[in-house]
Amino acid sequence: MSGKGKILVVDDERGMREFLDIMLKNDGFEVETAAGGREAFEKIEEKFFDIVICDVKMPQVDGLAVLRKVKETWPDTAVIMITAYASAETAVEAMKEGALDYITKPFKVEEVRVILKKAMERRHLEKENELLKKQVRKWDTQAAIVGTSPAMQKVFALVQKVANTPTNVLITGESGTGKELVAKAIHYESSRADRPFVAIHCGAIPENLIESELFGHIRGAFTGAIQNKIGLLEMADGGTVFLDEVGEIPLPMQVKLLRFLQERCFRRVGSTESIQVNVRIICATNKDLEREVEEGTFREDLYYRLNVIQIHMPRLAERREDIPLLSEHFVRKYARELNRKIHRVSDEALQILMNYSYPGNVRELENILERAVALETSSVITPDSLPSDLRNGTRRSFHPAREWSPLQLPEEGVHLESMVEDIERALIRQALERTHGVKKKAANLLHVSFRSFRYRLEKYGMNGRDAA
């Protein structure tokens, strides 16, 4: 593998291809060539190149089409256009389309080297910027996983132990406990930190599209496949793939995912070409997958492939001693984002926060404090900035197994809006429990549209089959 970078040379003149191939290899680059635009398209879809050197005038598919394809597929790739038919109009058009530079034939070797040096310096700068951004994201992620409780210290210890292994990890726990944050922490603590972290929310992708999203497809593979598409697994090559709500993957797709885990290669939908990638798989679920295996809705062999190392995220109610630290973190975060000079939570407000059970876990606490920062007029979060039903103790969580019974209006009255939300939340949990987490069936049970049901799940910070 070259230390300088990968270059694709596209030119319909064989002599020019061979000349550039020899010259660039002698200069330390890894080089591939294409005899025309169509062949270039195939190579561009297959892999990433740091630089594409492309002739403008070519039969069938010209250089500007190749330029557009590169920028559509790999926006970070530098493109240098060459032609013997130089014109100001063509040069301006190429630059507008995203070309880095433009040279004319016949050209001097040193001229090409100067342009390549500029292109690689720009590429290295972009990589450094991306690494810096990822380092910042790493710090943000680590800062967001707050806790000194024994339960969280156990999580932190496991993250450190598994980060630099290739082992598959399964993160379990209720919705809102921070499973994706832990997945990101594992990625950014690993040797893969400078490669992509790709999150796939399996429950949010329609069943008929999930294979295409994961593996990609070729044009014409199915109705609506009007162009080739790179799948998320291929985009994550060298990095980490996070499969959130992995229990939502339908059984036919589970077979294909298992095959990928065994062979580490796959085929795009409609293609016969095998593509090999090097990715680490981290999964998360709020379902009891062992129970799903027993009920036949999740493959046993896939479960054991994914569940090599398990990290369980505790409910916020199980680590109540972390609420002060979490509150301080969220206040700082939203004070910075909303440009508010708020420094802490008052003792009175903190006591109210400590007394609540948080069925929505850390996400619910975060939502409460984001609202409080937005409403607070002083430099300290006071009880007046907290939701009224939290202050007066009427915000309640319902157990999903609780039987339905008619409500009686207490003498002191109720906070109607809060009570209605509590009832709605409880019925959603019961529906999910009864349908074993199958959202479409739960929506049918409640006689609401699937879109409306999904909206309510997002509204209450619920996902899949939550437990109270």
Average pLDDT over every residue of 234-252:
93
DSSP reduced 3-state for 98: coil
| Six token digits for residue 266 | 């796959």
E runs forming strands in 137-187? 169-172
Indicate if the pLDDT at residue 8 is higher than 90. Answer: yes
- ∠ CA 62-66-71, rounded to 5°: 150
Q: How far is CA 121 from CA 5, 64, 117, 128, in A?
A: 11, 24, 6, 11
DSSP reduced 3-state for 53: strand
Indicate if the pLDDT at residue 44 is higher than 50. Answer: yes
Kindly give the pairing relationship between strand 30-34 and strand 6-10. Answer: parallel
Cα separation, 299 vs 251, whole angstroms: 7
Q: Which phi and psi angles does 295 have, rounded to 5°?
A: -85, -5
Cα separation, 186 vs 169, whole angstroms: 9
Least confident stretch, 62-76, 83-97, 222-236, 271-285 = 83-97
Cα separation, 41 vs 17, whole angstroms: 16
Average pLDDT over every residue of 277-289:
94
pLDDT tens digit sequence for 55-67 = 888 888 988 999 9
pLDDT tens digit sequence for 100-141 = 888 887 788 888 888 888 888 877 776 665 555 555 454 454
Full DSSP string of 347-395: HHHHHHHHT---TTHHHHHHHHHHHHHHH--SSEE-GGGS-HHHHTT--
Share of the chain above pLDDT 70, in %: 87
* pLDDT tier, 467 (very low <50, low <70, confident <90, very high otherwise): very low
Beta bridge partners, 309, equal: 169
Q: List b or e across 180-203, with b for residues whose CB sees 16 or more CB atoms inside 10 angstroms.
A: bbbbbbbbbbbebbebbbbbbebb
Averaged pLDDT score across all residues of the chain: 84
Structural domains present in the chain? 6-127 (3.40.50.2300), 153-312 (3.40.50.300), 316-395 (1.10.8.60), 396-468 (1.10.10.60)
What is the length of the chain?
Answer: 468
pLDDT tens digit sequence for 386-397 = 998 888 876 654
Predicted TM-score of the model (pTM):
0.60
* pLDDT tier, 85 (very low <50, low <70, confident <90, very high otherwise): low
- pLDDT, residue 1, reads 36
pLDDT tens digit sequence for 285-318 = 999 999 999 989 999 999 999 999 999 999 999 9
pLDDT tens digit sequence for 161-197 = 999 999 999 999 998 999 999 999 999 889 998 889 9
- pLDDT, residue 396, reads 54
DSSP reduced 3-state for 54: strand
| Six token digits for residue 211 | 């294979």
Cα(first)–Cα(last) distance of the chain, in Å?
Answer: 54
Q: Which phi and psi angles does 392 have, rounded to 5°?
A: -95, 5
Q: How far is CA 250 from CA 214, 223, 227, 253, 458, in A?
A: 13, 21, 25, 6, 22
Indicate if the pLDDT at residue 332 is higher than 80. Answer: yes
